[in-house]
A and B are shown apart, each in its own frame.
Chain A
Amino acid sequence: GAGVSQSPSNKVTEKGKDVELRCDPISGHTALYWYRQSLGQGLEFLIYFQGNSAPDKSGLPSDRFSAERTGGSVSTLTIQRTQQEDSAVYLCASSPKSASYEQYFGPGTRLTVT
């Protein structure tokens, strides 16, 4: 079966513009995660969706960041009024259960804010 897919693979945007990043998780996976990875850094947790529960938004760095997951499947991460410090690789992962189970990662979206 297909793995986690993300689009676009690369996004270059001007400072101040809004961007939307998409994640298609593995079918049937109830948990979906967004992470941010800056150059030379580990993964920074952003947000976590688990089934129909309220998402854990504790990792979102500012109110310019938001995410939604429609129908328990596809997720969109939106960054409003982008800043240069938002430049990073944004990774999405899905899991059949909770965090302690294997997370399957997509290839990421490389965002560059000029």
Chain B
Amino acid sequence: TQLLEQSPQFLSIQEGENLTVYCNSSSVFSSLQWYRQEPGEGPVLLVTVVTGGEVKKLKRLTFQFGDARKDSSLHITAAQPGDTGLYLCAGALITQGGSEKLVFGKGTKLTVNP
């Protein structure tokens, strides 16, 4: 069972289009992170959202954390070829032992065609 469901799994769009990627769970997270990964490299953090309902903007990227802290979305406006990559969401969970652990979704592979 996948704890974090990301959709869509694959997305191929034309330059200039808008898109939204979703990350959903039945679990409540203390925080949620979005990463972007390019081929042959490790993921790089884009943003961390902590408060339910929080919205953060990073240039053309808008991130939203659901009110109940169970889901999140990433919206890209006027996508560019440089946005191509694998987008991963990751939720921070408190384990029974009291430590924190990140659980990752399977990712959305975005291709922006010129």
Contact = CB atoms under 8 A, between A and B. Distances in A.
Interface of A: 4, 33, 35, 40-45, 48, 50, 53, 56, 58, 91, 93, 98-108
A57 to B, nearest CB: 11
A42 B108 CA distance: 9
A50 B99 contact: yes
Q: What are the 10 A-B residue pairs with the smallest beta carbon separation, nearest first? A: A105-B42, A99-B100, A42-B106, A43-B104, A100-B92, A42-B104, A100-B31, A98-B100, A102-B45, A99-B102
Given A100-B31, A100-B48, A56 B97 contact: yes
19 contacts: A42-B4, A42-B107, A43-B104, A45-B101, A45-B103, A50-B99, A56-B97, A98-B99, A98-B100, A99-B99, A99-B102, A100-B30, A100-B102, A103-B33, A103-B43, A104-B45, A107-B41, A107-B42, A108-B40
Interface of B: 4, 6, 30-31, 33, 40-45, 48, 50, 88, 90, 92, 95, 97, 99-107, 109
B85 to A, nearest CB: 13
A42 B6 contact: yes
Nearest to A99: B100
Looking at B31, B48, B50, B104, the one whose CB has the most chain A CB atoms below 10 A away is B104
Contacts of B41: 105, 107-108
Nearest to B44: A105
A41 B2 CA distance: 11
B42 A42 contact: no
